[in-house]
Amino acid sequence: MVQLDNSKIVILGTGGTIAGTAAQAGDNIGYRAAQVGVDQLIRSVASLSSVLGEGNLVTEQVAQVDSKDMGFAIWRELALRCAHWLADRTVKGIVITHGTDTLEETAWFLQSVLQPGKPVVLTCAMRPATALAPDGPQNILDAVTVALDPLAMGVVAVCAGVVHSARDVQKDHPYRLDAFSSGDAGPLGFVEENAVRWVKFDEKATYLSVDRSFFAIESIVDSMPWPRVEIVMNYAGASGAMVDMLVRDGVQGLVAAGTGNGSLHQDLEAALIRAQMAGVKVVRASRCAKGRVLSHSGDRIADSHGLSPVKARVTLMLALLGLHGPQVRSEPVFTGITLPWPWAYPALEVIHIIGIGLLLGNLVLLELRVFGRGSALPVPELARLSLTLVAIGFSLAALSGTVMFATQPGDLLANRTFTLKMLLLFVAGSNAAWFHARQSLDKLDGFARLQMFVSTVIWVAIIVLGRWIAY
């Protein structure tokens, strides 16, 4: 570790192409990433001292990995080290050297959990350190320039002289040096001759105190293992087979990368809704590199609020970890309980159907007797047996239905069919109360028969609406 005193810029190394080496200087593809230590990288930046002025550096090797292999353990350690240095009053900002493949995910993860008031700048390279003209040294210099800028704050990414916000940055080219963009949101600024020209600031970003950053980090450190969240993609001929398999395998969250405005093949959408009803958290993003999904009140799967699929996955994982920072709390899709076993929701559906069968079957049996069928059966004895089974059936249906509702309350409350079903349940309950209050079983008059007929019709309608919601 290289360390000097006074106000500091901290450079954390994690590997990547910027730390890569190749057997031949002209080879910009067949290199091995994550071979050069961060101290050696810094020594290759000849003009760094002129940018730093009287400031000093701290370098620390947090990881040494090709970023395609980035994992939760490194994210956890990186967040801890960032939180540690952010709490140091002599630290002006942090620079992180990172691979390009997953830089945008790491940036969004750190912004979501740290939301730092100081700058945390991720930088990278598209050529290895041994290239004839490596781009890493200039990117490091630019990143330090941004970290020293008095207007800089929060997590940003710097590549090829362009400053991107953590929310919008995305890798959009596999080879060229300027491999990142901010989509139609546009960059935050540009680094020009060791100075930052800001063109805008991230109005959506939220910044926390150091104490709150540590609280967020503790939520992550204490969580083992992290929740499993997978991404599925929509395409021509997409099916729900992968979703069904993931649900059986215990997945806890799913992000659907939809086409266009988050649209989904009908088979894939049906599978995602089944997963949602089984307690899996589901969110819908778009494959498009620009724009965002525009939601509609009738959508059965919530959208990602402008996040790309990979960043929506990060946010969903953090929500499932119980991290309720402003970035996470703003996503309404992360509501409702999660059932602990993949078979739990199907089991509840079985109980629900059994309850409905007992309820409706015995109501129909009693109604047939009231209308003159099976006249040999005494009405009082049949009523006692049938209504007891009706009560048991109603209890099973109500209990299982309440638990299923708790897995997705937001989606159901926004569903007009569900609202109509609840209204009919109220009408059915009111009719039953009236039926018993006027002692209709003892009278068995025309009005009693009408009440029983209406009750049966209402319960059939409730069943139809329930199946409509499910499928």
Q: Which residues are catalytic?
A: 17
Helix-strand-coil split of the chain, %, nearest 5: 45, 15, 40
> Closest Cα partner for 11 from 50, 49, 62, 55?
62
Tell me the two tokens of residue 404: 């299923």
Distance of CA 53 to the CA centre of its chain: 42
Q: What contacts 135, CB < 8 A, 6 or more positions away?
A: 125, 126, 127, 160, 177
Q: Enter the DSSP assignment of 290.
A: S
Distance (Å, whole) CA 70 – CA 17: 13
Rg of the chain over all Cα atoms, to the nearest angstrom: 30
The β-bridge relationship of strands 56-65 and 119-123 is: unpaired
Please state, in angstroms and rounded to a whole number, the distance separating the CA atoms of residues 446 and 461: 23
In degrees rounded to 5, what are phi and psi of residue 197?
-105, 100
Helices (runs of H) and strands (runs of E) counted in the chain: 16, 13
Dist. CA 19–CA 129, nearest whole Å: 6
C-alpha to C-alpha distances, 174 to 8, 171, 179, 427, 471, nearest whole angstrom: 34, 8, 7, 61, 41
Burial 290-300 (b: 16+ CB within 10 A, else e): eebbebeeeeb
Decide if 291 contacts 184 (C-beta within 8 A): yes
What is each CA distance from 280 to 247, 304, 309, 360, 430, in whole angstroms? 8, 15, 17, 31, 35
Q: Which two tokens stand for residue 362?
A: 């015995």
Tokens 């002129």, residue? Answer: 50
**CA 368 from centroid of its chain's CA atoms:** 52
**Assigned token pair, 168:** 């919008």
Residue 182, SS3?
coil
